[in-house]
Chains A and B, each alone.
Chain A
Amino acid sequence: MAAVNGTSGNGDSIGGMAAIHARGLVKSFGELRAVDGIDLDVPRGMIYAILGPNGAGKTTLMRMLATLARPDAGRASVMGHDLLDSPQQVRSEIAMTGQFASLDEDLTGRENLVLLACLWGFRGRAARARADELLTAFDLADAAGKQVKDYSGGMRRRLDIAASLVVTPGVLFLDEPTTGLDPVARKSVWRMIRQLAGSGVTVLLTTQYLDEADQLAARIAVIDHGKKIAEGTSRELKAATGSGFLHIALADAARLEEAATLLEQRLGATAQRSAEGASIAIAARTPHDANAALGALIDAGIELSDFSMGSPSLDEVFFSLTAGGRK
Chain B
Amino acid sequence: MNDAGRSPATVLVQAARPPAPSALSNALVFGWRAVLKFKHVPEQLFDLVMTPIMFTLLFTFVFGGALAGSPGAYLQYFIPGILVQTVVFNSVYSGMGLSTDLSKGLFDRFRSLPIWPLSPFAGLMVGDLLRHLIAGLIILTIGLILGFRPEAGVVGVAGAFLLLLAIGFGVGWIFIVLGLLIRTPMTVMTLGFTFIFPLVFASNIMVQPDTMPGWLRAFVDVNPITHMATALRGLMSGAVTSRQVLLALAAPILLTLVLAPVTLAIYRRR
Is the Cβ of A167 less than 8 Å from the Cβ of B15?
Answer: yes
Q: Take A137-B3, A168-B13 as given contacts and tell me if A102 and B105 are in contact as well, using a CB distance cutoff of 8 Å.
A: yes
**Is there an interface contact between B19 and A165, defined as CB atoms closer than 8 Å?**
no
Q: At the interface, yes or no: B269 with Cβ under 8 Å from chain A?
A: yes
Task: Give B1-52 interface residues, CB cut-off 8 Å to A.
Answer: 1, 3, 6-15, 17-21, 25-26, 29, 32-33, 36-37, 40-41
In terms of DSSP, what is the predominant structure of the interface of chain B? helix
Say whether, besides A96-B108, A96-B112, A106-B40, A167 and B29 are in contact (CB < 8 Å).
no
Q: Is the CB of B11 within 8 A of A196?
A: no
Contact, CB under 8 Å: B37 / A134: no
Task: State whether B8 touches A118 (Cβ < 8 A).
Answer: no
Given contacts A70-B269, A111-B36, A136-B3, contact A119 B11 (CB under 8 A): no
Would you call B198 an interface residue if the criterion is a C-beta within 8 Å of the partner chain's C-beta atoms? Answer: no
Max chain A C-beta neighbours (<10 A), residue from B3, B12, B15: B12
| Number of B positions contacting A (CB below 8 A) | 40
Q: Which residue of chain A has its CB nearest to the CB of B109?
A: A102
Residue interface bits A165-195, CB-to-B below 8 A is 1, else 0: 1111000000000000000000000001001
Q: Mark A78-115, 1 if CB is under 8 A from B, else 0.
A: 00000000001101101110111111111110010001
Q: Are A115 and B12 in contact (CB under 8 A)?
A: no
Residue of B nearest to A66 (CB): B112
> Bound complex: CA of A193 vs CA of B31, how far in Å?
33
Q: In the complex the two chains form, is A100's CB within 8 Å of B112's CB?
A: no
A106 touches B12 (CB 8 A): no
Q: What residues of chain B lie closer than 8 Å to A88, measured between beta carbons?
A: 114
* Contact indicator B3/A119 (Cβ below 8 Å): no
User: Does A6 touch B at the CB level, under 8 Å?
Assistant: no
Q: Which of chain B's residues have a CB closer than 8 A to the CB of A137? A: 3, 6-8, 10-11
Q: Can you name the residue of chain B whose Cβ is closest to the Cβ of A100? A: B105
Q: Does A5 contact B (CB under 8 A)?
A: no
Pick from A122-130, A231-239, A263-271, A306-314 the stretch touching chain B.
A122-130
B54 on interface, CB distance cutoff 8 Å: no
B265: Cβ under 8 A from any A Cβ:
no
Closest to A138 in B: B8
Would B105 and A101 count as touching, CB distance under 8 A?
yes
B154 at the interface (CB under 8 A from A): no
B interface residues (Cβ-Cβ under 8 A, vs A):
1, 3, 6-15, 17-21, 25-26, 29, 32-33, 36-37, 40-41, 101, 104-106, 108-115, 269-270
A-B residue pairs in contact (CB < 8 Å), sample of 26: A63-B108, A67-B111, A68-B112, A91-B112, A95-B112, A96-B109, A96-B112, A98-B108, A99-B105, A102-B105, A102-B106, A102-B109, A104-B106, A107-B37, A111-B36, A115-B33, A119-B115, A121-B18, A130-B15, A136-B6, A137-B11, A138-B8, A162-B8, A192-B7, A196-B8, A198-B9
